[in-house]
Amino acid sequence: MTDPPDTRDIGPRPGSPLWTYLAGVIIVGLTALVVAQVRLGPDQLAHVARLPLLWMLGALVVLGELRPVVMSASTLVGGTPASVMFSFAVLLHYGLSVAVLAQAVAVVVSGLVHRRAWHRVTFNVAHVTLACTAGAVVLGAFGVLPHPSGPWVPDNGDDVVAIALAALAYFVVRGLLVCGAVALHERRTLPRVIKVTVGPQSLAYAAMLGLAPVVVVVMTYTPVLVPLFVAPLAAMYLTANVSARRDHQAMHDELTGLPNRKHLIVAIEEALAELRPDQRLGLLLLDLDGFKEVNDTLGHPVGDRLLQIIGHRLTHSVRPGDVVARLGGDEFAVLLPSIRDAQAAKEVAARLRAALTEPVRLEGMTFDLDASVGIALHPDHAPDFQLLLQRADVAMYLAKEARTGVEFYVSDKDRNSPERLSLQGDLRRAVDRGELELHYQPKVVLADGAVDGVEALLRWWHPVRGPVSPAEFIPLAEQSYLMRELTQYVIGAAMEQAAKWWHEGMKVPISVNVSARDLLDNGLAEQIEAGLARLRLPAGTLQLEVTERVLMTDQAYAADTIRALAGLGVPLALDDFGTGYSSLVRLQRLPVSEVKIDASFVRRLTESPDDERIVRSTIDLVRSLGLRSVAEGVESAEIAERLRDLNCDVGQGWWLGEPMAAAEATAWLRERLRAVPPVAPVEAPAGAMGGAV
């Protein structure tokens, strides 16, 4: 697990509230430290240096400062230094001057070892000094004034009250000073930070401060036993660290150390709860462009290292308090708990993209990356975190499709609505309840009427709404994470049906449409390979259809995935040809076996000379590349006859055969495969719905 560098080491901007706060605490704290040492005097300092017990305690203070007890994985809580027990014991026994000196030395050593920034080290020295001073003031109020030349040892019940109040003052001052710095750094409210930290921290401080008087007694009578106090500290340290590590793993990405989706959701809920009426909350979703090429070319280890570098860059490109999370794969999210306006969010997005576009050098190679960023704001675009996540995702895909880099959520471009959001939930349940089914539309050889195959088309019969058009629910799935589940269902069901037909002697291939998001799924080829092996089917049983738009907008991603599928022997078809902007070079490079001419041209074939020229040219082009041509939208005998004259290979449309349920399609195929008649219309069962998904 790799943790991103601590942003607390980044110096605050001069003149900012955090800078002013740190400067004030540092000045007051260091002044108190200097005064304490002046009061000690050189003679007493020399006396202290000759005390072996104090050297032993100093070593324990340093050791405790190096290894804090982590009670929570939250960055707001942090760790509780184990040095508290020994430094408070020194305060009780030898007085303020010696205690703050030992603690200051320990903090400086810890800062050097952990390479902390100077402002953190000096602030830690200052706030610990002030906490010790508060404890000493309370002790003085009870007449307890320990000194190196006159150590104090508690010897009656009244001393318990003085010690308890001194410990409380120490804890309160130290906690408030640290919480104030954290609140300003993370841009959280002080009450919120106190609420999050007081529970875990109070337990640890109570245990260690409570043992300090015992340490004093042991120091006085059997000092040789003092090191034994390391044992309970070690037990506390190990137990707390195991728990914190478990919490960290549950809330953070293992590869980058960044917060994961679960952490992000919690952070959004907390930020929404704290948001003031005059503030906005921003959520940015980033999807890397070009990352898959690196992963596929150089392997996952290099890709993983690249993701770690990206996580580091993103963390250092946002403000303290902003949350950078990795959602999985090459998707990241950035939460802006408070943002001035949309322009400020856009500036953050521009800064993130600028950081990512700087060349990365790995394995002796230089990589240029970019990202598509979607932005959604609360309350402008969404009232709660669920809608915020969804609409940031919609905006990100808008940016990816338009190749604009950054896009805000725009309701006019979102095909979702309250009704459609409800429909999306129904669709998720429909997958589990088996409300979806496949219909099969025949593909017929125009020359002799032979069956060339069928195309699987997804249909949904809603228990309340009735039939739902694929044009309505497929875009919903594509804008959510349901698309993968739908594709897995369709491919699985299509292969199961193909197995029934093939094992009955009806060797009819089935075509299935896949989307751009499907082609980014590395598990697609694995699912198909496993299914073919399990059902004992040849690779030619299944054909995948990809749209021309995938070729254009996701070329770098899709081409490699398509080649991997083609490597299995699965035939590939280019769907809706003519609606995009494919070039001959790209078409020639893709391992496709057929090209489907879009129905919008075929339907007007006998009416529009322009459409006829387009169809004729496409058929000639496809034939010259050694591919088969398939015409969609064959809805009349005249169109079928004209396509046959143009030497189009295969036709598909209502005139040749409407989409049919599995049972009707099975009966149709049995009859059709027994005797192949001339091309003629075939009646489908009443109620069948047409149109491709």
Q: What is the pLDDT of residue 589?
A: 64
Whole-model pTM above 0.85?
Answer: no
Mean pLDDT across 582-598: 71
Q: For residue 75, is pLDDT > 80? A: no
Per the model's pLDDT, the better-predicted residue between 498 and 197 turns out to be: 498
Q: What is the pLDDT of residue 653?
A: 92
From residue 490, alpha-carbon distances to 436, 447, 667, 689 in Å are 9, 30, 21, 17
Chain centroid offset of residue 70 CA: 25
Mean pLDDT across 348-373: 81
With DSSP H G I counted as helix, E B as strand and the rest as coil, what are the percentages for the chain, rounded to 5?
60, 15, 25
What lies within 8 Å, CB to CB, of 46 at 6+ separation is: none
In this predicted model, what pLDDT tens digit does every residue of 463-500 receive, in sequence order? 888 888 887 788 778 766 678 888 889 999 999 999 99
Phi and psi, residue 432, nearest 5°: -75, -35
What lies within 8 Å, CB to CB, of 438 at 6+ separation is: 456, 457, 458, 459, 490, 493, 494, 497, 662
74 touches 196 (CB < 8 A)? yes
In this predicted model, what pLDDT tens digit does every residue of 93-126 receive, in sequence order? 888 988 899 889 988 998 888 888 888 899 999 9
Per the model's pLDDT, the better-predicted residue between 283 and 475 turns out to be: 283
Q: What is the pLDDT of residue 549?
A: 61
Q: What is the pLDDT of residue 236?
A: 62
What tokens were used for 482?
């349901």
Among 272-276, 347-351, 577-581, whose mean pLDDT is lowest? 577-581
78 touches 193 (CB < 8 A)? no
Q: Which of 360, 244, 354 is nearest to 308 (CA)?
A: 360
Q: For residue 248, is pLDDT > 80? A: no
Q: What is the pLDDT of residue 215?
A: 82
Q: Which range has the top average pLDDT, 51-60, 252-261, 273-282?
A: 252-261
Q: What is the pLDDT of residue 133?
A: 94
Place of tokens 């082609």: 519
Can you name the residues that pair with 407 across neighbouring β-strands? 374
What lies within 8 Å, CB to CB, of 552 at 6+ separation is: 580, 581, 582
Distance CA 354, CA 406 (A): 12
Can you name the residues that pair with 376 across neighbouring β-strands? 283
Q: Which residues of 628-643 are buried (b: 16+ CB within 10 A; e: fewer)?
A: bbbbbbbbbeebbebb
Q: For residue 431, is pLDDT > 90? A: no
Kindly indicate the confidence band of residue 693, based on its pLDDT and cuts at 50, 70 and 90.
Answer: very low
Distance CA 269, CA 264 (A): 9
516 touches 550 (CB < 8 A)? yes
Q: What is the pLDDT of residue 581?
A: 46
Return the percentage of the chain with pLDDT > 70, whole number.
84
Per the model's pLDDT, the better-predicted residue between 53 and 600 turns out to be: 600
In this predicted model, what pLDDT tens digit does every residue of 514-546 receive, in sequence order? 877 777 676 788 889 899 999 999 988 999 888
Distance in Å from the first CA to the final CA of the chain: 43
Q: What is the pLDDT of residue 50?
A: 74
Can you name the residues that pair with 362 across neighbouring β-strands? 365
Kindly indicate the confidence band of residue 69, based on its pLDDT and cuts at 50, 70 and 90.
Answer: low
What tokens were used for 351?
């800064």
Phi and psi, residue 574, nearest 5°: -95, 115
Q: What is the pLDDT of residue 685?
A: 37
Q: What is the pLDDT of residue 24?
A: 94
What tokens were used for 66?
């190096």
Q: For residue 689, is pLDDT > 50? A: no
What tokens were used for 152?
């104090």
Total residue length of the chain: 693
Cβ count within 10 A of residue 312: 18
Q: Which of 209, 268, 248, 216 is nearest to 70 (CA)?
A: 248
In this predicted model, what pLDDT tens digit does every residue of 639-658 receive, in sequence order? 999 999 999 999 999 999 99
Burial class (CB in 10 A: 0-12, 13-18, 19+), 431: middle
Kindly indicate the confidence band of residue 462, based on its pLDDT and cuts at 50, 70 and 90.
Answer: confident
In this predicted model, what pLDDT tens digit does every residue of 540-578 receive, in sequence order? 899 988 876 665 554 545 556 676 777 888 888 888 776
Q: What is the pLDDT of residue 677?
A: 47
Chain centroid offset of residue 18 CA: 29
Q: For residue 134, is pLDDT > 90? A: yes
Q: For residue 626, is pLDDT > 60? A: yes
Kindly indicate the confidence band of residue 615, based on its pLDDT and cuts at 50, 70 and 90.
Answer: very high
Among 27-31, 164-168, 180-184, 550-554, whose mean pLDDT is lowest? 550-554
> Which residues in 364-421 belong to E strands, given as ranges?
365-367, 370-378, 406-408
Distance CA 414, CA 533 (A): 40
Q: What is the pLDDT of residue 687?
A: 35
Q: For residue 688, is pLDDT > 50? A: no
Pairing of strands 436-445, 650-652: antiparallel
Pairing of strands 451-462, 510-513: parallel
What lies within 8 Å, CB to CB, of 96 at 6+ separation is: 36, 132, 133, 136
439 touches 666 (CB < 8 A)? no
What tokens were used for 271?
């930020």
Among 256-265, 336-345, 412-421, whose mean pLDDT is lowest? 412-421
Residue 679 belongs to what H/E stretch? none
Distance CA 329, CA 435 (A): 31
Per the model's pLDDT, the better-predicted residue between 395 and 478 turns out to be: 395
Kindly indicate the confidence band of residue 4, based on its pLDDT and cuts at 50, 70 and 90.
Answer: very low
Q: For residue 73, is pLDDT > 50? A: no
595 touches 622 (CB < 8 A)? yes
What tokens were used for 320?
């303290």
Q: What is the pLDDT of residue 678?
A: 43
To 5 degrees, how large is the angle CA 238–CA 240–CA 243? 110
Strands laid side by side in the 406-408 sheet: 323-328, 331-339, 280-289, 370-378, 406-408
Per the model's pLDDT, the better-predicted residue between 70 and 615 turns out to be: 615
Q: What is the DSSP letter of 452?
A: E
Cis preceding linkage at 379, omega within 30: yes
Q: Which of 162, 173, 175 is nearest to 212 (CA)?
A: 162
Q: What is the pLDDT of residue 692?
A: 38
Can you name the residues that pair with 334 across neighbouring β-strands? 284, 324
